[in-house]
Structures are given as structure tokens and as C-alpha cells.
């Protein structure tokens, strides 16, 4: 069947016809029409926007790989184009769409955006999404690096409070992958405390406070266990030092109660004063 575009004479008419196909979700035919415009008039004002719309058609059709290639082709064929930010925004949307199914591919998209225009309006969002992808993949060390890189490069972004929360949260999950990395856990608690100082009414304030309390319980248990260790070594004075520390620094935990019981027992048997 002959394409209706054959009866259209001007380039403007051809372009509008291709757009109408795009609106009607006839993506394959629309792509061919846009490609025909580019082939016929490569130096016209319609060639560049046709290439952009080829990417848009692929994107709407769920073919993100070809969409990205089409957008990249615009930047290659028209270096310095005034539509650079628009194209990077469209590439960013490709990355967002891929996050649900292919986080690693999404990371590559976001990295390319930052590489092309690291101070552009989309760059901070792209850096955030790189970190979020790593977090989603349970690659918490890489997520930490990406979040910290964000703070280093975009310290005035509106995303800063979110990142201030995500950094200690990443440390908590990273610690769970290891065998009790207490240094990482304490660093996470300090991070949540810093978040609360900077964002006392922030959206994550309650969660941050809850995480602090959970970490403090783990810290208290660790100090109590060290005291128990010294008891087994028959060093009651050293054990008492840790039990006293648990009582003083973690008074609202069950470990403070148990530490107090140990201290009373040690005094009763006159192992300590």
C-alpha cells in the first residue's frame, strides 16, 4: 500500500505527517518517514528534529537501546546543537525506564550523560540514579562511592538531604553483608545523627531516629559481650569497665539492665568494689 506521504509535497507537510504517525502510535512507519526526511533534506531544519523523533519513537515503543543510539546520533551529527540539554533529558528518561529491568544498562546511560555535560541540569539527577541503581543491586560499596561523589560534585543540589540519609543507610546494609563490621555501623549511626541535625523535620527523620536506636542496641550488645569475654577470662575488673560503659552510654537498652545485673553480682561476690 502506497504511503500517504507520497501525495505530500512540502517538507513541512511531510514532517507534520510523520508527527501524526507518532501520535497515532504507528512507530515503525513514523520512523521510516523521519528517516526519509533526513535522507531527502539532511541539511534542512527538519533533519535534526526528525532524528530526535526517531529516538522518541523507539523510546515510546519500548526499544530503549535503539532510542539511545538515535539520540546519540543527534549529538554526533549536530555537535554543539542548541538542543543538547533536551537530548540529554531524553537520554535520562531512557535510563529511568531501564532502571526497572536492567540497572547496569541504566548506569551506563547516566554515566554518559555526566560525561557529556557534568554541570548540566540533568547531571545531578543522573549521579543520584547511578547511586540508586547500585543500591538496588545490593552493591552498597559502589552505592556509597556514588552518593559521596554526588555530595562532592553537587553540594548545593536539592537532593543533598536525600543523599545524607542514603549514605548511612547504605553503610547499614553493607555491614549486614559482612561479619559485624562495627566501625561501619558506628559510622552509619553518626551519619544518621548528622542527617537529623541538618534535617530535623526531614522526610526521613523518623526512619533515621529508628535506625539510630537499632544501631545503639547492637553497639550495647557488643560492649556487653566484651565484658562477658573478660569474665570468662576471670578478669572481673576489666569486665566491670565494659558493663559500666553499657550502663552509662546505653541506659535505655536491655543490655544496660543485664550489665547492671552483672555488676551487682560481681560486687556481691566481692570481685569488684
How many domains is the chain built from?
A: 2
- Mean pLDDT, residues 127-139 taken together: 97
Mean of pLDDT values over 221-237: 95
- Indicate if 91 and 147 belong to the same structural domain: yes
Mean pLDDT, to the nearest integer, of 231-246? 95
Cell of 101: 529491568
Alpha-carbon distances, residue 106 vs 65, 74, 114, 134 (angstroms): 10, 20, 13, 10
Mean pLDDT of 78-107: 94
Residue 56 lies in a domain: yes
* Packing angle of the helix pair 84-98, 123-136 (nearest 10 deg): 10
- The reported pLDDT for the residue numbered 1 is 39
Q: Do 25 and 66 sit in the same domain of this protein?
A: yes
What lies within 8 Å, CB to CB, of 186 at 6+ separation is: 215, 219
Measured CA to CA, the distance from residue 142 to residue 138 in angstroms comes to 9
CA distance 97 to 103: 10
Q: Rounded mean pLDDT of 123-137? A: 97
Task: Using pLDDT thresholds of 50, 70 and 90, give the confidence band for residue 191.
Answer: very high
Instruction: Choose the final residue of a domain: 64, 79, 94.
Output: 79
pLDDT at residue 2 tops 70: no
- The verdict on residue 184 lying in a domain is no
Are 75 and 103 within one domain?
A: no
Q: Do residue 14 and residue 42 come from a single domain? A: yes
Whether residue 243 contacts residue 237, with contact meaning beta carbons closer than 8 Å, is answered with no
Share of the chain above pLDDT 90, in %: 86
* Cα-Cα-Cα-Cα dihedral sign, residues 258, 264, 266, 268: negative
Q: What confidence tier does 181 reach under pLDDT thresholds 50, 70, 90?
A: confident
Residues 86 and 35 in one domain: no
In a domain, 213, yes or no: no
Q: 97 and 65 share a domain? A: no
Tell me the average pLDDT of the chain: 93
Domain finish residue from 58, 79, 100? 79
Helical H segments across 78-139, by residue range: 84-98, 103-116, 123-136
Domain assignment present for 249 = no
Residue 152 three-state SS: helix
User: Domain span at residue 92?
Assistant: 82-157
- Whether residue 19 contacts residue 47, with contact meaning beta carbons closer than 8 Å, is answered with no
pLDDT digits (tens, 9 = 90+) for 141-178: 999 999 999 999 999 999 999 999 999 999 999 998 87
Decide if 253 is inside a domain.
no
The whole-angstrom separation of Cα 52 and Cα 33 is 13
CA distance 204 to 21: 45
Same-domain status, 63 and 88:
no
Question: What percent of the chain clears pLDDT 70, i.e. is strictly above it?
Answer: 97
Q: 63 lies in a domain?
A: yes
Identify the pLDDT of residue 7.
57
CATH number at residue 120: 1.25.40.10
Domain boundary among 51, 79, 107: 79
C-alpha closest to that of 160 among 123, 198, 217: 198
What is the mean pLDDT of the segment spanning 237-251? 95
Residue 149 within a domain: yes
Model pLDDT, residue 6: 54
The beta strands (E) that lie in the chain are given as none
Residue-wise pLDDT tens digits, 22-71: 999 999 999 999 999 999 999 888 999 999 999 999 999 999 999 999 99
Residues 147 and 86 in one domain: yes
Amino acid at each position: 500500500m502506497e504511503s500517504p506521504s507520497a501525495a505530500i509535497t512540502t517538507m513541512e507537510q511531510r514532517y507534520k505527517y510523520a508527527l501524526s504517525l507518532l501520535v497515532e502510535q504507528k512507530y515503525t512507519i513514523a520512523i521510516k518517514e523521519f528517516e526519509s526526511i533526513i535522507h531527502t533534506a539532511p541539511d534542512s531544519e527538519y533533519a535534526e528534529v526528525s532524528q530526535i523523533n526517531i529516538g522518541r519513537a523507539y523510546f515510546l515503543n519500548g526499544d530503549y537501546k535503539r532510542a539511545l543510539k538515535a539520540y546519540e546520533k543527534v549529538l554526533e551529527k549536530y555537535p554543539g546543537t542548541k538542543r543538547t540539554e533536551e537530548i540529554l533529558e531524553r537520554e535520562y528518561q531512557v535510563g529511568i525506564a531501564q532502571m526497572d529491568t536492567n540497572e547496569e544498562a541504566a548506569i551506563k546511560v547516566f554515566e554518559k550523560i555526566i560525561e557529556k555535560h557534568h554541570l548540566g541540569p540533568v547531571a545531578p539527577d543522573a549521579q543520584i540514579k547511578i547511586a540508586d541503581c547500585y543500591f538496588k543491586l545490593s552493591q552498597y560499596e559502589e552505592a556509597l562511592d556514588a552518593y559521596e561523589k554526588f555530595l562532592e560534585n553537587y553540594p548545593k543540589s536539592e537532593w543533598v538531604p536525600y543523599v545524607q540519609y542514603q549514605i548511612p543507610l547504605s553503610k547499614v546494609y553493607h555491614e549486614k553483608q559482612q561479619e559485624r563490621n562495627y566501625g561501619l555501623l558506628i559510622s552509619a549511626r553518626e551519619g544518621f545523627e548528622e542527617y537529623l541535625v541538618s534535617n530535623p523535620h526531614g522526610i526521613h527523620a523518623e526512619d533515621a531516629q529508628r535506625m539510630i536506636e537499632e544501631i545503639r542496641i547492637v553497639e550495647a550488645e557488643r560492649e556487653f559481650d566484651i565484658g562477658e569475654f573478660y569474665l570468662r577470662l576471670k578478669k572481673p575488673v576489666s569486665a566491670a569497665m565494659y558493663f559500666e560503659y553499657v550502663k552509662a552510654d546505653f541506659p535505655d537498652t536491655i543490655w544496660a539492665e543485664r550489665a547492671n545485673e552483672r555488676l551487682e553480682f560481681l560486687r556481691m561476690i566481692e570481685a569488684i568494689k
